[in-house]
Amino acid sequence: MAAPAAPSAPAAEPPLDRRRMIAFLCMVFGMFMAILDIQIVSASLAEIQAGLSASADEIPWVQTSYLIAEVIMIPLSGFLSRVISTRWMFTIAAGGFTLMSLMCATSTSIDEMIVWRALQGFIGGGMIPTVFASAFTIFPPSKRPIVSPMIGLVATLAPTIGPTVGGYLTDLFSWHWLFLVNIVPGIFVTVSTYLLVDFDKPNLDLFKHFDWFGLAFMAGFLGCLEYVLEEGPNHDWLADEAVFACAIVCAVSGVAFFWRAFTAREPIVDLRAFGDRNFAAGCIFSFVMGIGLYGLTYLYPVYLGRVRGYSALQIGETMFISGLAMFATAPIAGRFSGRADPRVLMAIGFSGFAAGTWIVTGLTKDWDFWELLLPQVLRGCSLMLCMIPINNIALGTLPPARMKNASGLYNLTRNLGGAVGLALINTLLNDRWDLHLARLHERFTWTNTAVLERLDTMRRQFEALGGDAGAQALKAMSNTVRVQGLLMSFSDVFLVLTGLFLAMACATPLIRRPRAAPGAGH
């Protein structure tokens, strides 16, 4: 009599496809270039301004034009990659980004630079969400502890080391190399992705129902929103005519865009992904993480530049410690992401953010590398502990058919979080500075004995140097008051950020623990 058949073992998971892994690594490198480019240019705007003989009002458009164009392409990329396939989407994005980098380097006027930067942001903006979508569709869930830290590290490391790289390139060569540095890697990424990427097939039938009105409304909504957030803090918000006009266009376009998104036969962006509770929660946490990523990358250099008088290169060298902390934490976060509850990792990460910003509430004018060491280490570690589980929660439960569209929306929330965060930080910083200066001026009066004694001491010190010692002492006293007011406003901003990050850490239990997505990895 035959022995009973043994129970069948579960099917073994297919081994990791080496070709796909190499193709994905090339795509990740392209994403790194696109994200890095924003920060290396922002660190050297003064050199570009001098080289192109641009005015102080014109030079911010080198960044603003790029950001506006990129924020339009990010959600659009999901639809385009479904139409023309991941292969062609990424190849065109990488090739266009490389070509526009060359055109930026050869610009001879600020108008040329703005045009090429806008095209560079629009074309290259498709790389970032395409990488995220590919990571969660071509690899099975068991490989996410390897893939998620990779894209998480790139998405957070590039903005952090950008000022350092930009400072070195400008100091050692010239501002042209901020763009020329993209050429050789860009050609490599373009060619390699064309030859290696074969994740999906194009669906050109979708283009027959392309929602042109939806695209126009989305461009008006997101483009004007980005402009208002970029320029509002510097121009007293709606008191400025251009900001006011863009706010009106943003509001009208926003209403029309949402109407088209729910009524068009094939909407330019499918907002139904927000019906998934974990995706919606992941986007909210990604939005706040964008504030932590871009807001702190902005605040530390502002302090080091305005108060300490550091150059762009010195600022980059001081902030590089965050990048080292990310490198050290990425493999640890990746290993735990597959074993621990991602909500626990997120709670630890946001608590680390809060601890770092709480330490900096004690900021003084003498803080430099060593005083900022621990806050930066906490920031770098926290970014990785947050980024990887947030990616998995937001995108790890969606079916592959919805991944491309959802990836664009998810990456958009992080960028908008950075834009909104910077606008609020700038506004809060300026308002609190004005408030503290008013209060300090009330105390620094001619009837205050301590102030008069300090002023007399400073006058005697300046007498040894010659000149009008009284005027020099008064000017030095005024500068001291302004610096103290600025430091107090920095402390207020860091205190608000501490409260925000603590609130997010406390909110993590509200998220459902994700299960594997249906059909993932196929």
Q: How many residues does the chain have?
A: 522
309 torsion bin: left (phi>0), alpha (psi -120 to 50), beta (else) = left
Q: Count CB atoms within 10 A of the CB of residue 369.
A: 16
pLDDT score at 101: 92
Q: Reduce the DSSP state of residue 255 to 3 states and report it.
A: helix
Give the residue ranges of the chain where pLDDT is below 70.
Answer: 1-17, 445-448, 451, 461-468, 514-522
User: For residues 405 and 133, what is the distance between their CA atoms, to the nearest angstrom?
Assistant: 8
pLDDT score at 514: 66
pLDDT score at 357: 93
* Global confidence as pTM: 0.82
User: For residues 45 and 439, what is the distance between their CA atoms, to the nearest angstrom?
Assistant: 34
Chain-centre distance for alpha carbon 360: 21
pLDDT in tens, 88-119: 999 999 999 999 999 999 988 888 999 999 99
Residue 14: Cβ-neighbour burial (10 angstroms; 0-12, 13-18, 19+): exposed
* Contact between residue 165 and residue 316 where contact means Cβ atoms under 8 Å apart: yes
pLDDT score at 184: 92
Output Rg (C-alpha) for the chain, integer angstroms.
25
In sequence order, what are the residues at sequence separation of 6 or more whose Cβ sits closer than 8 angstroms to the Cβ of residue 226?
Answer: 64, 67, 68, 71, 419
Burial 113-134 (b: 16+ CB within 10 A, else e): bbbbbbbbbbbbbbbbbbbbbb
SS3 annotation, 59-79: CCHHHHHHHHHHHHHHHHHHH
User: For residues 147 and 142, what is the distance between their CA atoms, to the nearest angstrom?
Assistant: 10
pLDDT score at 342: 84
E strands present in 405-465: none
Both tokens assigned to 16:
């990791």
pLDDT score at 446: 66
Q: Count CB atoms within 10 A of the CB of residue 479.
A: 10
* Contact between residue 243 and residue 427 where contact means Cβ atoms under 8 Å apart: no
User: For residues 119 and 92, what is the distance between their CA atoms, to the nearest angstrom?
Assistant: 12
